[in-house]
Amino acid sequence: MMKNNPFIGTGVALITPFDDDYSVDYQSLRNIVDYTLQNGADFLVALGTTSEAPTMNAEEKAKVVKTIVETANGRCPILLGMGGNNTAALVESIKNQDFAGVDGILSVVPYYNKPNQRGMKAHFTAVADASPVPVVLYNVPGRVGVNLQSATTVELAKHPNIVAVKEASGNLQQIMEILRDKPSDFTVLSGDDGITQPMMALGAKGVISVAANGYPKPFCEMVHKMLDGKHEEALPLHYKMLKMNGLIFADGNPAGIKALMAHAGLCKNVLRLPLVPVTDNVRQDIENEYDNSLK
């Protein structure tokens, strides 16, 4: 039986807008959901890394998810970030999670305790067995300290409830090995905005994007052109965004994208500690690039 993966195209790893008093700005969150969907987003990611989820309490997280689901109102699939480095606790939280309006979970490689490949395989198998919705693996060695190797990803791809991987290793050799060896009903998504176009040229089917929070129109247009096989039309858009795709990560994520979005009037430039806003120099560079190239 072929797996059904609704997570194709541009997924927006939604930021969480905060007010000056550091409370969640739910109205801006609703506006951002509308803005991204009106400009071509295919699915939304709630409580991903970009959302600053580690700094939110359980009540805030539940309300953020509810706000996203209600605002999207069935217009697109919703992917919920649910990862952890305590497998038993994560399985328990999956069992207790309200999945109303949620179409899948995005689950990161366990961080800090650095499992080996056998440990990662056992962890994700337990997660996929427990989840009532499809699972998207999330490999981001720069954040978690270990790399989910291509052979392990391909093994996990055989699980009936694991439908995709968000590959943010930046390692094209590894990504190509997954694309070459994976089952046909398993999807590779880019986890790096800057190499989405080349990854899609190699066979990836989309992206989970930070950039699409702030400039969804050109980004989604590029992704859709790649999905349609219009590579030559996608390339100018890729290069148009190249500088900004680097700038928004120059001083950390989501600090960069929040600086851009504050400039665009989409949210306030407020982050919760331990994250802080970008430096004035980086902010100026982001604002100039946005005004000159992407506005």
Active site residues: 138, 166
List the one residue out of 122, 50, 112, 58 whose CA is nearest residue 85.
Answer: 112
Supply the DSSP string of 208-236, one letter for each residue: EESGGGT-HHHHHHHHHHHHTT-HHHHHH
Supply the DSSP string of 39-79, one letter for each residue: TT--EEEES-GGGTGGGS-HHHHHHHHHHHHHHHTTSS-EE
In angstroms, the Cα distances linking 151 to 64, 211, 263 are 35, 29, 43
Which single residue is written with the structure tokens 């040229």?
A: 201
CA atoms within 13 A on the CB side of 42: 20
Q: Which residues, in sequence order, are CB contacts of 19 under 8 Å at separation 6+?
A: 25, 268, 270
Buried b (16+ CB within 10 A) or exposed e, 178-212: bbeebeeebbbbbbbbbbbbebbebebbbbbbbbb
Q: What dihedral do alpha carbons 99, 100, 104, 107 form, nearest 10°?
A: -40
Hey, what are 7's tokens?
A: 């997570």
